[in-house]
Structure 1
Amino acid sequence: MTGPRRSSSGGRLPATRLPTLSGFVLVGLVTGGLVAAAAPAASAASAPQGVTWAVSPATDGAPDERSWVELDLGPGATASDEAAVRNLSDETVTFRIDAADGYFTDEGRFSMLPSDRPSTDAGTWISAPETVTIEPGATGIVPFTVSVPSNAEPGDHAAGIAASLVSVGSGAGGASVGVESRIGFRVMTRVTGDVVPGVAVDGMRVDYQMSWNPFAAGSLTVEADIVNTGNVRLVLDGTVRAQGSSAPIVAEDAARQELLPGDRRAVSIPLRGVWPLIVASAELEVAPTVVAPDGGEAVDLEPVAATATAAAVPWPQLLVVLGAALVLSALLAGRSRSRSRVAALVRQAKEEGLREGAVGGRTDGGSPNANDR
């Protein structure tokens, strides 16, 4: 597979399934004719000069209800399709038509490579007119073809097609500075052949955060990289579990998370209510779904599980136990000393009683005196 590969880093994947965007916008700073940045956005763009437009798939010369194009083609096959470019501004505009390899961002949104990065995969399979000129408020239909090379690898290949504008001005020092704005939609091509889905969990690690309140549980953060090891794209799903607590990999209010072949997505999932039991163990179960092209039935993969542990020494609880032991020891020691003092007093009283008894006996019936003689 020769398409672009992106790695993700950082936070937990937002969890409800992400609403799927019908298109994307790329906006980049242009300096000396090169696009230096790109950011995904929504399905309509506004150039700095106030021109707005939208791009969507089309059929028979009119926009249709598709959000993007899905193709299922064999090596060497060609398919024709259309894009509708709507000029929403009040002036005639000439748009440049671009195609490039596609990828998913760390947030799970689809985008395509910026102009300064050459495509090596499905972006090179798309042929379209270089430009289209559209009257104010009108829609222009752009025909394009997707030609799969005869040596293309089986599986999913992602690309995008977009209409773009560049507005150029003068920056500091007289340099040519501008902004390229592109809006388009994805073109997903599944090349027929040996389709092999696969997923793996890499580098799973667990971090335990202790609560110093001895009567409150701590939390556990599970981090891992989920890798699409197959040749078809996957929709992520799965669960993290520890001590009866669980959380989804993809939050219920987040976007749908897709992985292209070879993609790696970092996840970080916190779990609450985990008690320190010397060792804290967590299980990460990934249960992805294979995306079927053109609305076909999705296929669930066998779940893949991984486990990891972290030290979870119950220091607050041990300190409580130690404190209780010290208090108990002090109480017991105090009681022991009290008993010893009582016993000593009793012995002393007995001894004094014996001594007093002995002295009294000698006085009353003891030794004779002088008169008795």
Structure 2
Amino acid sequence: MPAQSLQTSSANRGRSFLLVPLALALVAALLSLLSPASRANAATPQPTPVTNTPSVVPPTKPADRATFGIGPATNGKNDSRPFFSYTSGPGGVYTDSVAITNYSAKPLDLLIYSTDLVNGIDGTLSVAPQAFVPRNAGVWIQLPARQQTVHVPGTTASGPGRVVLPFTLHVPAGASPGDHSAGIVASLQTLGLNPKGQNVRLDQRVATRVYVRVKGAVRSLLTISDVKVSYKAASNPIGGGVAHVTYLLRNGGNVNVGVRQAVSVTGLFGTKAKADPIPNQDLLLPGVGVRMAVDVKGVLPTIFEHAHITASPMPVKGSLYGNPKTVTKSVSFHAIPWMAILILIGLLLLIVLTIVLIRRRRRRPPTRPAGGGPKSRNPRPSGPSDPTDADQPEDLDHSSTSPVPVGATPETSS
């Protein structure tokens, strides 16, 4: 039985040693599951942007694209105004002129029409598509025709070709106070081939802005709402992760406003991380909301975190508003250091296994000498305890002798 006890003890120690690599493999598998995955951001096509300067389509390939522009005009030629701007009461009427300029060598047939200005999904200011039915100041502009094709001569030695069109701005009697925005568009539509060799219609568009301030009570109001934060831990257990912050930025007033934004994250122990500079919203139209998405890098996971968003109004050239106020919004979220927790669990498991192995080794019985039997707890002394035992020889072979009757003579073999 002692030999069997030693075999069982050895088997237990073998199984205990096997637990160490199994624990390490489990921790490694959990760490691999939590490793960050790369994300691909898809580009979203945007409408044609407009600028504060007279719009010009830049030349790329002379054989493929034409170069033309549009802007305010006075006395039959372009003037220095970057855009059209009017202040009027309800029912006001204004007359003005717009110049269409052709910088290309050949004549162009351009489609001229008015439409509303809109903010794209990222806040970029642009003109609405041609199929869009205007509902704001784009309806107030009356060109010689709602949509008309204008033949613009090519550039000559005397200068670029030019056509000047008059128009009238009619402000409705029931127009609401505040800012209203539109654009006058010059469009060149041609046929071309896409990369697959299919026929497509190409639309080169430029536009000039038209701002109308209707007199009355005006207010500037920015709001931040629907804030959501998600946290992605770093692969480095002591490194900072990324907080993905999304929110809805809205112009709740009735005047155009530019917006400067900032996003930061603070942690439980005073840690702070700031997002990279966010591009300014140069012009956010009244009543328009833009969904913003900002990544804050280097956020240390301290379990309890706070995201802070600040939106400060900026003045828009040609649009005056009073008493702009900065708006802030803060929300809390959790950033749990799962990677560090898993590593800590793995270390604790290794420590527990080490303690168990040490205790089992200490409790193991002493090893017997090789070739010896089990030792008695009370061994007999080396000397004889009974003198009679010493005088009597020990009978080693009882099988070769037999009892001799009394009085008989033992037989001897010859």
TM-score by length of 1: 0.71
Aligned residue runs from structure 1 range 253-292, under 5 A: 256-291=281-316
Q: 1:82 — aligned with what?
A: 97
Query: Are positions 1:185 and 2:200 aligned together?
Result: no
Task: Quote the offset at 1:57 in angstroms.
Answer: 1.9
| Separation of aligned partners in 2, 1:19 and 1:140 | 21
Question: Which structure is higher in strand share?
Answer: 1
Partner letter of residue 232 of structure 1?
V
Per-residue CA deviation, residues 85-133 of structure 1 (Å, 9 max, x unaligned), is: 1122334555443111111223444322333222121011112333555
Decide whether the 8 Å contact of 1:292 with 1:298 is kept in 2: no
Q: 1:122 — aligned with what?
A: 137
Decide whether the 8 Å contact of 1:21 with 1:43 is kept in 2: no
Q: 2:225 aligns with which of 190, 193, 202?
A: 202
State the SS of the aligned residue for 2:351.
helix
Task: Quote the offset at 1:297 in angstroms.
Answer: 8.3
| 1:334–1:102 distance in 2 versus 1, CA, 3 Å | same
Q: 1:111 — aligned with what?
A: 126
Decide whether the 8 Å contact of 1:236 with 1:250 is kept in 2: no
Task: Quote the offset at 1:60 in angstroms.
Answer: 4.0
Task: Quote the offset at 1:50 in angstroms.
Answer: 6.0
| Separation of aligned partners in 1, 2:101 and 2:172 | 31
| Separation of aligned partners in 2, 1:182 and 1:370 | 129
Decide whether the 8 Å contact of 1:208 with 1:280 is kept in 2: no
State the Cα RMSD in Å: 4.0
| Separation of aligned partners in 2, 1:314 and 1:278 | 7
TM-score by length of 2: 0.65
| Separation of aligned partners in 2, 1:45 and 1:249 | 31
Aligned residue runs from structure 1 range 1-373, under 5 A: 20=51, 22=53, 42=57, 51-93=66-108, 95-130=110-145, 132-136=150-154, 137-167=160-190, 181-242=204-265, 243=267, 244-247=272-275, 250-251=278-279, 256-291=281-316, 293=318, 300-310=324-334, 312-341=335-364, 355=378, 359-360=380-381, 363=383
Task: Quote the offset at 1:192 in angstroms.
Answer: 1.8
| 1:44–1:236 distance in 2 versus 1, CA, 3 Å | farther
Structure of larger gyration radius:
2
| The 10-residue stretch of structure 1 (219-228 or 134-143) with the greater mean CA deviation from structure 2 | 134-143
Decide whether the 8 Å contact of 2:220 with 2:321 is kept in 1: no
Per-residue CA deviation, residues 209-258 of structure 1 (Å, 9 max, x unaligned), is: 1234323332110111211111112212222111311115724xxx6442
Partner letter of residue 289 of structure 2?
R
Task: Quote the offset at 1:268 in angstroms.
Answer: 0.9
Q: 1:38 — aligned with what?
A: none
Task: Quote the offset at 1:321 in angstroms.
Answer: 0.9
Runs of at least 5 residues in structure 2 that lack an aligned partner in the other structure = 1-40, 155-159, 193-198, 367-374, 391-414
Decide whether the 8 Å contact of 2:223 with 2:327 is kept in 1: no
Q: 2:411 — aligned with what?
A: none
Task: Quote the offset at 1:207 in angstroms.
Answer: 1.3
Give the fraction of aligned pairs with identical amino acids, expressed as a percent. 27
Residue correspondences, number: 322
| Separation of aligned partners in 2, 1:272 and 1:49 | 43
| Separation of aligned partners in 1, 2:64 and 2:330 | 52
| Separation of aligned partners in 2, 1:46 and 1:320 | 59
State the SS of the aligned residue for 1:288.
strand
State the SS of the aligned residue for 1:335.
helix
